[in-house]
A and B are shown apart, each in its own frame.
Chain A
């Protein structure tokens, strides 16, 4: 799966979770940039990403990823 393909799907997940079709995430996107992305919604996001790609994000990864770019890297490595 290319990073572009992953990004397309990750972007859909963000739009679903935050109910905002104007969202476009990039490598640099962090929780600061998206309204509603707090620690509680992070739980929904991690679950939704895991479901979308059929993976389980390990404990040590969930809170250590610094931005969407790292998230996409992890998905690219795993899938």
Chain B
């Protein structure tokens, strides 16, 4: 629900909590067995419960609550509690704050005194945790401590052994160490949350004096939100994929208009640096297993040039899936989800364009769409929204992106078989094939000298040789140029043969590898056959001479419908093709 998405208005949520809850329940977003959450407070907890419920419902987690009597968190856990036992909590949340510290240092204390006070406070909690675990065996969440609203010793409070801040910092460190070493135990970091909210407003004392709220009411939604993110991730509700727009989201500017050299990325300007920082942030997400994907309206080959810049933090290979096309982004996202075998609700869609955000919000149920403003706040918005809040970091998390990248490659290959013709069609290819032509002599000669892999005979010719061939009445020569919707590939193929009676003996057949699998070889053969027929020929013969580099075309003629005549000891192969009944093979290149 929009009202509950970060950055929300806490006072609005408190004021409207009844209506919001009603709407959430009506929407039916949260279903299944309710999670039972026991809130054991060292201060009033009523609004914490109300707000936590809203945020959990919004995450699809229905819940039931148990609340301790005011400030009875200790007694509730330490002594037999049939009511709590019967409630059967899935989560016990201990809401204690600085107000609950009873053994604070005084100026009369020695270092040893302070150390034993620290021990006493820590032990009190540890005993509680150990007992709660043995009795209830459920998830435990414990607040750490916010910094004191009023310091004991001013500027030196964090360094002097009797300072409150020093005391709190050391206690927090011990709580953290316990959390690190005990499965099923988490800290709710109100020290961080109160700093973000602003300690002065967080601890505003009138709420304590009047209602015994240690956290001021306007801050409670923020605390509850943080807590809901933790509980959500413990129950596996965190998002898995960040689905990113490109222009003005990952870099400044529009790459299709500005070109890759003029987009804002790198360290040259404040804006470029801002986008670089955002990319750095995304890289840290990927490092812990969050999948990065692209969903952009662009020409793919143009768009991906943005990642080829040396100063681009992210590379094209960091993305496990890419949908760079002109389709509706909502469709792209749903398709991408199914290809990754994930649900669209695992996605967070990040786009600077409000119209695109709205379409995805409306069309893709459960997908989260942060309301972005200016680029320096993108990372903040994603982070503080808690979408990718981890409950722990596992080995799997660290390996996940690599695994998805491999899967993506397999999928791509698979797709290319299923629908390759459609892909070729979509390229809108046009061929220009004809006898050697003066403007291309130099390029043709260059190709005969440079081409190694797709080269049947690897015969090298000078430009002069080419000129002579072009005017030789006893030869048939063809150059092939290929253009597609992304641009002109130039002259990419050369075929040349010598007429011998009713046969054309093919002396040269080569092609540039950048147009492999585009049907260009078929287009060349079609033209070659047509030219041979027009000269009254009935047969083609071809040769494969192996080199260290041309193994890929060893069976080229077989694939083209030629018949193998023989192969000698060196692996030289000879073929022939009767062309009387030849049918054109090229289907995708318009010539």
Chain A interface (Cβ within 8 Å of chain B)? 13, 16-19, 36, 39-40, 43-44, 47-48, 51, 56, 59, 62-63
Tell me the smallest distance from the CB of A18 to a CB of chain B, in Å: 7
- Would A63 and B217 count as touching, CB distance under 8 A? no
6 CB < 8 A contacts A-B: A16-B16, A19-B16, A19-B19, A47-B217, A48-B11, A48-B15
B363 close to chain A: CB less than 8 A: no
Tell me the smallest distance from the CB of A24 to a CB of chain B, in Å: 18
Q: Which residues of B (286-328) have their CB < 8 Å from a CB of A?
A: none
B439 close to chain A: CB less than 8 A: no
Give complex CA distance A39, B211 in Å.
9
Q: Report the nearest A residue to B206, measured CB to CB.
A: A59
- Would A47 and B14 count as touching, CB distance under 8 A? yes
Work out how many contacts link A and B, with CB atoms closer than 8 A. 45
B373 close to chain A: CB less than 8 A: no
- Would B213 and A43 count as touching, CB distance under 8 A? yes
Chain B interface (Cβ within 8 Å of chain A)? 11, 14-19, 22, 44, 46-47, 206-207, 209-211, 213, 217-218
Tell me the smallest distance from the CB of A61 to a CB of chain B, in Å: 10
List chain A residues, Cβ under 8 A from B47: 40, 43-44
Contacts beyond the supplied A19-B18, A39-B211, A43-B217: 14 A-B pairs with Cβ under 8 Å: A13-B15, A16-B15, A16-B16, A17-B16, A18-B18, A19-B16, A36-B18, A43-B207, A43-B210, A44-B17, A48-B11, A51-B15, A56-B206, A59-B206
- Would B19 and A16 count as touching, CB distance under 8 A? yes
Give complex CA distance A59, B205 in Å.
10
- Would A43 and B16 count as touching, CB distance under 8 A? no
Q: Report the nearest A residue to B210, measured CB to CB.
A: A62
Query: With contacts A40-B46, A40-B47, A51-B11 known, is A59 near B16, CB below 8 A?
Result: no
Output the residue of A18, A39, A44 with the most chain B CB within 10 A.
A44
Tell me the smallest distance from the CB of B3 to a CB of chain A, in Å: 12
- Would A17 and B210 count as touching, CB distance under 8 A? no
Q: Report the nearest A residue to B216, measured CB to CB.
A: A47
Q: Report the nearest B residue to A36, measured CB to CB.
A: B18
- Would A48 and B14 count as touching, CB distance under 8 A? yes
Give complex CA distance A10, B22 in Å.
22
